[in-house]
Structure formats: C-alpha cells, structure tokens
Chain A
Amino acid sequence: KQEVTQIPAALSVPEGENLVLNCSFTDSAIYNLQWFRQDPGKGLTSLLLIQSSQREQTSGRLNASLDKSSGRSTLYIAASQPGDSATYLCAVVGGGGNKLTFGTGTQLKVEL
C-alpha cells in the first residue's frame, strides 16, 4: 500500500525567505506526482504535475523535483510572500485505477 509523508507538518517563515517542502512515498512505481495548494475552507488547487520520467517542473516561483528511485519530491518556493500562506499537499498516482494517494500536508505561514 502506498504511503505518502510530508515533512514538516507546519512551517512559519519570514517574508522573502526561500523554502523547501518535502514529500516522500514508499512505492516508487508511480505514474506522476502532483503538488496542490489548499486555502482554509477551500478546495485544492493544482500547482505542478511531474511525470515519472521527469526530474523537475517549474511554474513561476515554484520548482518541484522528483527522485522516483528514492521516493522523494521537494517543492521549492522562492522569495516567499504572505499570499503563499496555505496548506501544501503532495499526491502520487500509481497502481490500478489512476488513484491519487495524498500526504497529510504542510501548513505554511509566511509572516510580514
């Protein structure tokens, strides 16, 4: 059974800092990995999708990397802003049925 872990569970940083969020998974037989953002009381917003054959993907100030063999992904956020405050979730797709298995998320707070 695939298990996804995100460390740290919570993180507080001053505005402008670069930061890294971590995601690890136990079964390396994945199709892709997706990073999401969730604001309080809202749904999930897709940030980046990395295919299993890719090493990294970039969107604006966000860069996600994938090391499938070691079961790890990182989400790098450059020059953090208060508007980046949210919970960040990673999910892997693998196995039958195209199912996403989620980590429990990292709650990020960027302070002025």
Chain B
Amino acid sequence: DAGITQSPRHKVTETGTPVTLRCHQTENHRYMYWYRQDPGHGLRLIHYSYGVKDTDKGEVSDGYSVSRSKTEDFLLTLESATSSQTSVYFCAISESVAANTEAFFGQGTRLTVV
C-alpha cells in the first residue's frame, strides 16, 4: 500500500471555527490532492499541489486554503467551518502525468460541522 496518512480520521467541530486536516506521504510523489466526497456528488477536487509551495484551485475551492511547505505534507484548512463543509475528505498522491502512474488515496477524514 502507498504510504499516505491522513489525520485526524474523525473530527467534530463547531460552525465558525478554523480546522486543519493533514495529509502525509512517504512516497516522495510530486502531486498531492484534496478531494471531498458527498452523496450524489461523488469526489470533487478542492485543491491540488504540483510541488513544494506550488498549489492551485480545484472545482470547489471556496472556503478552503492549502499549504505545502514540504514534499511529504499537504495541509487543508477550512478558514471558518460551515455546515456545508460536513463531508468526507480524501487526500491523494501521484507521481506525474509523464510517468503515467496511478493515483493513490488515503483512508479519509470524516468531518462534521455542527
């Protein structure tokens, strides 16, 4: 199994509080991604990174920010959590497009905003 660890695995937080989710990889892959999974919507890309300090927005980036100060860590921050951000969040990694390599996913973080 690819070395991807998400933390925490479960979290309950109150509306309006900031929340940070962490993704840690041991594969030295260049690309890292944050997705959210919701019933009826499938997996949607929030933000992704293509290198240290290089990030870009996905299709549902509003209310989220990311940072990548080291190759192995990709942080997702909900600046002021809202109930609509209750979801399961997945981190993924991949090596590169040119290498045509698989993407691997973490086990997910279940976030509940009350």
Contact = CB atoms under 8 A, between A and B. Distances in A.
Interface of A: 31-32, 34, 36, 42-46, 49, 51, 89, 91, 93, 97-105
B100 A49 contact: yes
B113 to A, nearest CB: 19
Interface of B: 31, 33, 35, 40-45, 48, 50, 56, 58, 90, 92, 94, 96-97, 100-108
Chain B's interface: helix, strand, loop or mixed, by majority? strand
Contacts, number: 60
B50 A97 contact: yes
Given A97-B56, A98-B31, A100-B33, A43 B90 contact: yes
Contact of B108 (A42, A49, A51, A97): A42
